[in-house]
Structure 1
Amino acid sequence: MTRHFGRMIASAWLICGGVAASSAASASYQHVLLISVDGMHAIDLANFVAAHPQSTLASLSHEGTVYPNALTTTPSDSFPGFLAQVTGGTPKSTGVFYDDSYDRTYFPAGSNCQGEPGTEVPFAEDIDIDSKRLDAGGTPGQPQTQIDPKKLPLALIDGKCTPIYPHAFNRVNTVFEIVKQHGGRTAWSDKHPAYEWVAGPSGKGLDDLFALEQDSLIPGTKVKTTGSFKAQRDFDEARVKAVLNELKGLDSTGATKAPVPQLFGLNFQAVSVGQKLPKSGPGDEAGLVGGYTGPDAAPGNALAEQLAYVDGALGELMSGLKEAKLTDSTLVIVSAKHGQSPIDPATLQPVDDAPYTKMPGYGFHIADDAALIWLKPKERAAQLPAALAYLEQSAKSLGIGQILPANALALSYNDPATDSRTPDFIVGVNPGVVYTSGKKIAEHGGMNQNDRSVMLLVSAPGMKPASLPALVQTTQIAPTILKALGYDPNELQAVRQEGTTELPGLPF
């Protein structure tokens, strides 16, 4: 059921510092709660709802539209995957291919912009004040205290050597920026302080970012949070509490009063770790096994536990909406930044990615279950043929299933000869190949179906249950958010550049 709010409610929004009056007449919802369950496939949602008909996910599905054929970006990494949801764009418009990537015009941290340009751009835990600490060495809710500017890549801007913060790396605006420009409050919670990029290129799109460091060490151990199923659930739950604080009219830390955000949410990491971690870690009960048991995506006992946790946490959030009397005025969107591969454990093929460093003209690469490769800027033109020949010769040993060279990438993204970000090669792997020197049993970032197929559910009270089999993209979430809030989706630069449409079949 579509909800249209009249002038009285619109006036109330303005009194409370809410949205602009021009949008009130066309707004279907006052709030959007956006949730990313990283790693969760469409089949995971279908299996869970079938096995747990009384679950929160089942309840949301019964009052919402499920898209069983939703695809995230290629590459299917966290940064481009979430940028899709909040910009409406792919790396073609955002210029962001991975959370650890490369720019041919940047200089390394600490270089004072001296030497040849072209450097790795590591926007994850690498830029924390202290990545071993949960608070990243700063104060949660204040990302500027958690990021060390001395660790940031550098660029010459108007002749001045300037540190590049994550928000300045993205080339297009975000839904958070647009909501802020219309007077609404915004908030987000994620796994690294580097997610301050959600604020958009202006750096002004977020009122409240509650970021903890996922790669911090579990207290009393030398094991990262990602090395324990329980530690990962605790990590997520701390951020659930931040969103519950926001629903109570507080900031994410609970320290000060603040209006309930018009656009807000968080990501969950529990399922992703449940898919990747092979066995119990610190704090876990013995005998837990991560991943799936077969090609039907039946979860192992550890992954089943992680899925159940996320469903319970979603229940907490739905109860929080109810207590705040916001259920009827809030659109809930649940999706995933990425999937995870492989689902079938019998296909797992661990491969060492070190040989990529030996290719002619090598500059930088990142490999999880795909490989993105940049050659040295001054050598690339001369070395492209030899580099391609090297990849072809190494295809079997590296598990390569597909090579996308520069001319193919120019069709889907921008020409690497003229764009500073587009890789010189993207390598797709055979199903089941995971680049690892450790013991992880799944990864994401690639272009296979298990990487790209993600859950997507849009729900609100009064919506008729529907399952739309049409192929959709997670880029369509961003314009859908703006339409629900009564704003013009064409305010998004990526929507205009890439022609992104809203999700089909919704009653608003």
Structure 2
Amino acid sequence: MKRFGRILAAGAVAAGTVAAASGAVAAPYQHVLLISIDGLHALDFANYVAAHPASTLAALQRTGIFYPNALTSAPSDSFPGLVAQVTGGTPKSTGVFYDDSYDRTYFAPGSGCKGDPGTEVSFAENVDVDSTRLDGGGKPGDARSQIDAAKLPQALVDGKCVTIYPHDFVRVNNIFEIVKQHGGRTAWSDKHPAYEWLNGPSGSGLDDFYALEQDSLIPGTKVKTTGSFKAQRDFDEARVKVLLNEIKGLDSTGAHAAPVPALFGMNFQAVSVGQKLPKSGPGDEPNLAGGYADAGGTPNSGLAAQLAYVDGALGEIVGALKDNHLADATLVILASKHGQSPIDPATFQALDDDPYTKTPGYGFHIADDASLIWLKPQDRAAKLAAAQDYLKSQIKAFGIGQIQTPGALALAYQDPAKDSRTPDFIVTVNPGVVYTSGSKIAEHGGANWNDRNVALLVSSPALAGRTVPALVQTTQVAPTILRALGYDPQELQAVKQEGTQDLPALPF
């Protein structure tokens, strides 16, 4: 393990030492707080700071390293987007392409592993006991009570049919597991109980996981939380309170004393909904408009309210760190699972993705502003050429920018002829194309710049603010976090497999 370039000023240095795999080394920080502001582009961050110099985001930037050319995962879905930040890996090593994907060796829920293998694998609201309820039909803080095992896929393992929980799905370990193995406490809060996948393959990476269901219904309505700017802010605020509890030395519920986690955090959904929701919903002020006014990223009123809320919530969190004498010992990392496309409203084009189901040999597809397509394993060899010809014939109708064929995917990820997860085709779209049958005005999941260029800031009172224009990846967040806590990034399997580097320009 390389030695730190220099130890930070006394205010940021942990008092003790932490045992890493290769020996005891001084840890620059006692705590890392990771926050994903889903949907937040680097452009959004820069615009907000310029327009609000007294904001929390501006204050964090003044003592932080800002990376304006940070790219999230490709595909840019929430699942691989966060997997990247906590494992240091792309789908090449993690096997995670989307929250709704396909595995050629798995069997459908409740099948008893009978019939032909190959099934959809969705780890989102669909696996809740009751996705219409905010608590997912269980007890927040106890993900197993919120997840219905009968809705999970199955697989044959050593000849036995087993249920695949979300944490079984990711192929490599993560930062929570590493920190916990070294004796540190870990915690996280997210938008679905299915995010218990953050426990990692060990199944035990998180000491405290608190999830609410984002797709639950707003009380007294038949509208989901995502259908209201205010409801989404309330959803995030309920989880901000979780973070504040943990900073105060309590567990996520606030009911019991607990050590402040060495590694903890949450995601915000308010900005993402502000980008996608076109107009006011239940509980909102009338006549709010979501999305952007122009190609320069000027937010409309609905999105502006979401950005202001997140900045205020970050102010609460930073204030709590200071009040509890944790600010100097805590490295704050702001990132994003994904961006959102398009920013320029003039380019928006809504298309129906249903024609993808007509692809010869079709097994499954997922489409937001890209399309991932899997053929049935038993039909793949015979139908592959016909499927490719069909997609080529639909380039204009589907708004296709590029068709990534099996050969190209084998180079970027794994060979779909040998790997159970890699799609047979990934279709990227022309900027502005969104596959939707509803009213949303933006989406993510694709590979365009608006999908992938996200905000990334590493902040601490001991850091001198600067901008680093180098092209970086959000996979670099994971090894940086371990380095900040005094652990060896090579303990991460994806870091070793893919050669992922720390973020540049940091003094540790």
Scaled to the shorter chain, the TM-score interval is over 0.9
Partner in structure 2 of residue 48 of structure 1:
48
Alpha-carbon distance in 1 for matches of 2:406, 2:79: 22
- Residue in 1 that maps onto 2:8: 2
**3-state DSSP of counterpart to 2:428:** strand
Task: Supply the AA of the counterpart residue of 1:242.
Answer: V
Matches within 5 A, 1:416-455: 416-455=416-455
Query: What residue number does 2:307 align with?
Result: 307
Residues in 2 aligned to 1:22 and 1:141: alpha-carbon distance in whole angstroms? 34
Q: Which amino acid aligns with 1:364?
A: F
Q: Which residue number corresponds to residue 16 of structure 1? A: none
Pair 1:249 & 2:249 matched: yes
The 8 Å contact of residues 208 and 252 in structure 2, kept in 1 or not, is answered as yes
Q: Which amino acid aligns with 1:426?
A: I
Separation of aligned partners in 1, 2:312 and 2:395: 44
Q: For residue 465 of structure 1, report the CA deviation from its aligned partner.
A: 0.7
Gaps of 5+ in 1: 14-18
For residues 448 and 251 of structure 2, the distance between their equivalents in structure 1, rounded to whole angstroms, comes to: 40
1:322 — aligned with what? 322
Stretches of 4+ moved more than 4 A in 1? 3-8, 19-24
- Is contact 1:187–1:206 with CA below 8 Å preserved after alignment? yes
The separation in 1 between residues aligned to 2:12 and 2:53, in whole angstroms, is 36
Residue 281 of structure 1 aligns to a residue whose secondary structure is coil
Question: Which residue does the alignment assign to 2:264?
Answer: 264
Deviations 1:100-140 (A, max 9, x none): 00000000001010000000001000000000000000010
Residue 202 of structure 1 aligns with an amino acid whose one-letter code is S
The 5 A counterparts of 1:67-466 are: 67-466=67-466
Name the SS of the counterpart of 1:477 in structure 2.
helix
TM-score if structure 1 supplies the norm length? 0.97
- Residue 22 of structure 1, CA deviation: 7.8
Measured against aligned partners, the alpha-carbon deviations of 1:27-51 in whole angstroms (never above 9, x if no partner) come to 1000000000000000000000000
**Aligned mates of 2:472, 2:420 — CA distance in 1:** 29
The letter for the 2-side match of 1:59 is: A
Distance, in Å, in 2 between the alignment partners of 1:452 and 1:31 is 28
What is the CA distance between 1:230 and its match in structure 2?
0.2
One-letter code aligned to 1:302: G
Please say if residues 4 and 28 of structure 1, whose CA atoms lie closer than 8 Å, have aligned partners that are also in contact. Answer: no
CA distance in 2, matches of 1:244, 1:359: 49
- How far is the alpha carbon of 1:3 from its aligned partner? 4.7
Q: Distance in 1 between matches of 2:410 and 2:272?
A: 31
Unaligned segments of structure 2, at least 5 residues: 1-6
Alignment partners' CA distance in 2, 1:356 and 1:445: 16
Structure 1 contact 7–25 (Cα < 8 Å) conserved: no
Q: Describe the superposition over 1:211-234 as per-residue Cα deviations: whole angstroms up to 9, x where unpaired.
A: 000000000000000000000000
* CA deviation after TM superposition for structure 1 residue 158, in Å: 1.1
Q: Write the distance in 2 (CA, Å) between the matches of 1:289 and 1:220.
A: 23
CA distance in 2, matches of 1:97, 1:204: 23
Shift of 1:492: 0.3
1:382, distance to aligned residue in structure 2 (A)? 1.2
Structure 1 counterpart of 2:218, one-letter code: I
CA distance in 1, matches of 2:294, 2:11: 48
Aligned equivalent of 1:28: 28
Q: Distance in 1 between matches of 2:13 and 2:211?
A: 37
Q: Taking every aligned residue pair, what percent have the same amino acid on both sides?
A: 72
Deviations 1:427-463 (A, max 9, x none): 0000000000001000000000000000000000021
Shift of 1:4: 6.6
Q: Distance in 1 between matches of 2:36 and 2:495?
A: 21
CA distance in 2 between counterparts of 1:4 and 1:202 reads 36
Shift of 1:25: 3.4
Q: Distance in 1 between matches of 2:309 and 2:453?
A: 21
Over aligned residues, Cα RMSD in angstroms? 1.5
Preserved CA contact (<8 Å) 1:4 1:26: no
Instruction: Give the superposition deviation at 1:6.
Output: 12
| 1:486 is aligned to 2:486 | yes
Q: Is the 8 A contact 1:56 1:312 kept in 2?
A: yes
TM-score, length basis structure 2? 0.97
Secondary structure in structure 1 of the residue aligned to 2:220:
coil
The structural deviation recorded for 1:271 is 0.1
The one-letter code matched in structure 1 to 2:458 is V
Q: Provide the C-alpha distance between the structure 1 equivalents of 2:342 and 2:168, rounded to a whole number of angstroms.
A: 34
Aligned residue type for 1:49: V
2-structure distance, mates of 1:409, 1:419:
11
Distance change (3 Å), C-alpha of 1:333 and 1:425? same
Aligned twin of 1:60: 60
Cα offset, 1:10, TM superposition: 2.3
The one-letter code sitting in structure 2 at the alignment partner of 1:263 is L
Amino acid at match of 1:362: Y
Going from structure 1 to structure 2, the CA distance change for 1:303 and 1:6 (only over 3 Å counts) comes to: closer
Once the two structures are superposed, residues 372-415 of structure 1 have per-residue CA deviations (whole angstroms, 9 ceiling, x without a partner) of 00000011111111000000001111111100010000000000
Which amino acid in 1 is paired with 2:167? Answer: H
User: What letter corresponds to residue 420 of structure 1 in structure 2?
Assistant: S
How many residue pairs are counted as aligned between the two chains? Answer: 502
Question: What amino acid does structure 1 have at the position aligned with 2:79?
Answer: F
Give the aligned residue type for 1:389.
D
Task: Give the aligned residue type for 2:94.
Answer: T
